[in-house]
Amino acid sequence: MIKARLAYREFEFLRPAATSRGTYLRKKVYYIILYHTDDPTIAGIGECSLFRGLSYDDKKGFENRLQQTIDRINQGEYGLDSTLTDWPSISFALETAWKDIRVNGSKLLFPSGFTEGRDSIGINGLIWMGSREDIIRQIREKLEEGFTCLKLKVGNLNLDDELDILELLRKDYPADELEIRLDANGAFKPRQALELLKILSDFDLHSIEQPIPAGHPEQMASLCEASPVPIALDEELIGKHTTPLRRKTLDVIRPKFLVLKPGLLGGLSSCAEWIRLAGETGTRWWITSSLETNIGLNAIAQWTYTLQNKMAQGLSTGSLYLSNIPSPLYLSGERLYFDPGRNWDLSGLNEAVRP
């Protein structure tokens, strides 16, 4: 018989994680743990990737809904739960926990050349918001580590400082040597966005994520059509739970790229549908984690590898924490690896307490 319980831990960031939604010092994480009553050592674990201030299910009732999910399993209702549509982080955790227990808790959710240690995944170097000096320091570190794709947050400093940073980068690293992605997190005002994008286009950018706030599809559509910088949708995808709504989003806005975050969009199968629909409109995409610890990152990375998308993926979140869950995942330069010789250490997952 399979039963379920919750585990809860708090993780401290190596450095303050500064975003347009605030600065994060710690991450509070719930895990859904499924286990066999006759052998509790066989456990499937899924991470609730709740991103405070951004997740669709960052709202009143989250903990109650999470407990209801546990109760449902303990009452003998197994499998995925179609009622979790409005709770994407719980849906992601449940989907991956079931996937894990079906492989006897091995965490080998998608066996491949990646999990065998024969291949790796290319990732972008994430540059957090900060002072001008701090951003330049982060960039230098990533370049010294060998990254050929950087993702920079914009909209935090004044425009002159951000342009100066881009100019310094392009002076030494042309577009054929360094791919630059920008992420505005909706920081641009719709009336000013096109003019700003025209200015930014001087720097041979790969793309810019979410230049204006989500929820303005007609304005975003006009911007995608006119922008000299290819636009990627990120926050715009959150809360779009049905196939018709997702298809309408792509048909109306017509972005060049999608940034797909399983923890924010309802899981791997949900992102797979976004990918299928993107194929109908010729929209390209890449996968990004969203502050997951190694449990969630492991599921996302293994699945991402099976997609064989050769673009740089956003899968570096496992390196953000002072003390992550020890796992076979590790970073070397701009590549994410899985060492099958390394063991998981799950001893730190204790019974849940309310944060």
Cα angle 313, 315, 316 (rounded to 5 degrees) comes to 125
Residue 48 CA to residue 316 CA, distance in Å, equals 18
Strand partners, 18: 23
What's the sign of the alpha-carbon dihedral 99, 101, 106, 111? negative
β-bridge mates for residue 339, sequence order: none
Beta strand segments in the chain, E: 2-19, 22-36, 39-48, 121-122, 125-127, 149-153, 179-183, 207-209, 231-233, 257-260, 284-287, 329-332, 335-338
Question: Which residue among the candidates 151, 153, 240, 256 is catalytic per the annotation?
Answer: 153
Of these residues, 142, 151, 240, 261, which one is catalytic? 261
Residues in the chain: 355
155 closest CA partner among 188, 122, 125, 131: 188
Q: Specify whether 142 is catalytic.
A: no
From CA 133, how far away is CA 332, in angstroms rounded? Answer: 25
Q: Is 153 a catalytic residue?
A: yes
Q: Convert 23-49 into a string of H (helix), E (strand) and C (coil).
A: EEEEEEEEEEEEEECCEEEEEEEEEEC
3-state helix, strand, coil in the chain (%, to 5): 35, 25, 40
Q: How far is 10 from 161, CA to CA, in rounded Å?
A: 35
Structure tokens at 261: 């975050």
From the CB of residue 27, how many other CB atoms can be counted at a distance below 10 Å?
Answer: 21
86, 92, 94, 95 alpha-carbon torsion, rounded to 10°: 120
At residue 353, what is the residue type? V
Residue 9: strand pairing partners: 29
Going 172 to 131 to 142 to 55, the CA torsion angle's sign is negative
> Active-site residue numbers?
153, 261
